[in-house]
Structure 1
């Protein structure tokens, strides 16, 4: 049987989860309305902007954003498309399996 302390901690955790979800929803709405960016697109641009060369390996970016490999790949492809043009894909010279993406000048302006 659950004691009162466990139930109280569970209620606090659920409240924090709901609060975080509400903040994410509001941020997503504001980004979409003002900049035509999803929250995940913003996070990709943010993490890239924090690097010296404005580029990251896709696998590292996937961990930072918290998306599955396929979801991040689809997101990056959309952001690389001619209709957006915020990112550019690169193959690692040292390790052909390594794929990087970097911000374009347009991506930096959009960010």
Structure 2
């Protein structure tokens, strides 16, 4: 395959469009969350992921699983957890069955902030997708994203 191969160029263009869409959405949602709730997109995502944990087998996520869910390295996730713990939004505790394991839970204050921020997040996401959907180069990606919700 040559560097000027049309299929490679189309693939690269598709990747650029996807990257552009992601950047626009993330920036829009970030501004909305920061302005209204003092949360970054990563902080919101971490609170959201951790709020979905439950008691019982497989209910609590290990730090690697959390890192994978928020698309960060384990060290970056640990730093993010520490920042939110310092703000009183998260708490950490040792696993009952494995003292090497540390779990993280969302505190009551974290649950309340997440509940307040969720409508802001969802509205900003909808706005960003609507805006991107009006751009010819991004519209097919937005349509594909929206079809993911109806695929079930």
TM-score, normalisation: structure 2:
0.66
Structure 2 residue ranges without an equivalent (≥5): 115-152
The structure carrying a bigger helix percent of its residues is 2
* CA distance in structure 2 between the aligned counterparts of 1:19 and 1:30, rounded to whole angstroms: 17
1:98 aligns with 2:79: no
CA deviations over 1:27-71 (Å, ceiling 9, x no partner): 111111111001111011111122224853222211111111211
Correspondence for 1:28: 30
The structure carrying a bigger strand percent of its residues is 1
Greater shift after overlay, 12-21 or 48-57? 48-57
Correspondence for 1:80: 85
* CA distance in structure 1 between the aligned counterparts of 2:60 and 2:89, rounded to whole angstroms: 12
What pairs up with 1:31-46 in 2 under 5 angstroms? Answer: 31-46=33-48
Task: After TM superposition, give the deviation of residue 11 of structure 1 in Å.
Answer: 0.8
Question: Alignment partner of 2:53: what SS?
Answer: coil
Greater shift after overlay, 64-73 or 1-10? 1-10
* CA distance in structure 2 between the aligned counterparts of 1:91 and 1:59, rounded to whole angstroms: 15
Task: Identify if the C-alpha distance between structure 1 residues 12 and 18 changes in structure 2 by more than 3 Å, giving closer, same or farther.
Answer: same
* CA distance in structure 2 between the aligned counterparts of 1:4 and 1:19, rounded to whole angstroms: 22
Correspondence for 2:71: 66
* CA distance in structure 2 between the aligned counterparts of 1:24 and 1:61, rounded to whole angstroms: 19
Contact 2:51 2:105 in 1 (8 A): no
Bigger relative contact order, structure 1 or 2 (CA pairs below 8 A, ≥6 apart): 2
Task: After TM superposition, give the deviation of residue 3 of structure 1 in Å.
Answer: 1.9
Contact 2:50 2:106 in 1 (8 A): yes
